[in-house]
A = this chain, B = another copy of it.
Amino acid sequence: MIIRILLESDIPIYRQIRNAVIEGIALGHLKPGEGLPSVRQLSSELGINLHTVNKAYTLLKQDGFITIHRQKGVVVNQRTEMKLSQWQQDQLSQELKPLIAEAFCRGLELEGINRICKNIYIQFKEP
């Protein structure tokens, strides 16, 4: 899978990589068991430092999205290993709150929010 980053973005590079991998998994571009490029390879491709990629991979590992395997390298986990915990759901709710509050102030109805969420959601595929 091709990972793109924007050096001008206000989102840190390691976070852009993290998001790109998660979105890649959700979109079905990255399937369980599939390998990701090594930290040296990806950092070279993107023209950035090894440690920036490593930071992204470490986050993805902590969050259950990938496993670092001694032989196979960096591998995408099964969906069962990504299961939503109560803490993660609370975290999601906390991150959604300011976004929905802003949309509400701007006059967007619940139906409008649901429509936007759906348009994002339908792009995603089960593995």
Contacts and interface: CB of A to CB of B under 8 A. Distances in A.
Contacts of A99: 92, 95-96
Interface string A76-111: 000100111000110011011111111111111010
The A contact surface, by secondary structure, is: helix
Contact of A104 (B101, B102, B121): B121
Copies in the complex: 2
Nearest to A118: B110
A22 B105 contact: yes
A114 interface: yes
Contacts of A49: none
Q: How large is the interface on A (under 10, 10 to 19, 20 to 34, 35 or more residues)?
A: 35 or more
Contacts of A116: 89, 92-93, 96
Given A26-B105, A83-B107, 16 more contacts: A19-B98, A23-B101, A26-B102, A26-B104, A79-B107, A82-B106, A89-B116, A92-B99, A92-B103, A92-B116, A95-B99, A96-B120, A100-B121, A101-B124, A110-B118, A114-B117
The 5 closest A-B pairs by CB, nearest first: A84-B106, A26-B101, A19-B98, A23-B101, A104-B124
